[in-house]
């Protein structure tokens, strides 16, 4: 028996909402057949919605070097103030430059006599300053480098050397320094020293005896006023000699 089925179709959105409904169809002999209607088109509200943009954020890396500008008032010890600043914040600093004036400076200069110091009294302007102050944790194993100075006197004379003792500021001092994050410390040894350590052979240190007293003489200490430092004048072109008489 051949039965004809008539499907009802509609393109409206209401047909999609009735997608699950069953429509009964009656055959000629009275039999009932249920036909499931499939919706056409997109369901309501299924349009392409704008998607949020994908933002990839990169964690900001900690800078390898952090600059510092230290301002110190007059009448303070620059060496001690810098060391206390590092201990308080548990950091290490590398002094790059500075400006200002200091007074009564004791310097260790290279000379034939080891340990000889020279004290300059008066006011001197800072031309250059450098030092390395290690963090407190590393300062126990590796000593910090001394403060190195280049100073200009009131008459244009220039002196320099390593600071011995306090370094008193004569006015406001500005220091430019840098702090290196997570520094690593390595103690390097010479190849000859490593070979001696491996072989276990160590030479006894040589001692240098003094004069007849049997002890080494203390290093000499010199003291100068700012005006007492005399420097040799620069070479000047001598005038030509007068012509010989005729």
The total domain count for the chain is 2
92 burial (CB, 10 Å; 0-12 / 13-18 / 19+) is buried
Of 8 and 108, more confident = 108
What range defines the domain where residue 153 resides?
Answer: 65-180
Domain-ending residue, one of 127, 149, 180: 180
pLDDT digits (tens, 9 = 90+) for 141-191: 666 678 999 999 988 889 999 999 899 999 999 999 999 777 777 777 876
Q: What are phi and psi of 130, to 5 degrees?
A: -150, 145
Domain boundary among 142, 161, 180: 180
Say what the pTM is.
0.55
167 and 134 in one domain?
Answer: yes
Task: State pLDDT tens for residues 63-88.
Answer: 778 899 999 999 999 999 999 999 89
> Within this chain, do residues 163 and 71 fall inside the same structural domain, yes or no?
yes
Specify if 165 maps to a domain.
yes
What is the share, in percent, of the chain residues with pLDDT greater than 70? 57
pLDDT of 184-232, one tens digit each?
777 778 765 666 666 655 554 444 344 444 445 555 555 656 555 544 4
């Amino acid at each position: 028996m051949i039965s004809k089925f008539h499907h009802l179709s509609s393109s409206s959105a209401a047909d999609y909402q009735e997608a699950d409904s069953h429509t009964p169809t009656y055959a000629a002999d009275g039999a009932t057949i249920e036909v499931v209607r499939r919706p056409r088109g997109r369901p309501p509200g299924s349009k392409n919605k704008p998607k949020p943009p994908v933002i990839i954020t990169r964690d900001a890396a900690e800078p390898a070097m952090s600059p510092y500008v230290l301002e110190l008032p007059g009448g303070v010890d620059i060496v001690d103030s810098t060391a206390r600043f590092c201990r308080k914040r548990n950091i290490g600093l590398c002094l790059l430059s500075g400006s200002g004036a200091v007074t009564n400076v004791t310097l260790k200069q290279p000379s034939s006599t080891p340990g000889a110091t020279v004290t300059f009294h008066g006011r001197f302007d800072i031309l250059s300053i450098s030092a390395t102050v290690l963090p407190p944790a590393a300062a126990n194993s590796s000593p910090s480098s001394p403060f190195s100075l280049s100073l200009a006197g009131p008459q244009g004379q220039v002196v320099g050397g390593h600071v011995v003792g306090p370094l008193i500021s004569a006015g406001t001092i500005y220091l430019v320094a840098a702090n290196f994050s997570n520094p690593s410390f390595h103690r390097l040894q010479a190849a000859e020293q490593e070979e001696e350590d491996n072989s276990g052979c160590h030479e006894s240190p040589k001692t240098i005896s003094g004069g007849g007293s049997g002890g080494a003489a203390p290093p000499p200490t010199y003291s100068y006023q700012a005006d007492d430092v005399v420097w040799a004048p620069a070479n000047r072109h001598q005038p030509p000699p007068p012509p010989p008489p005729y």
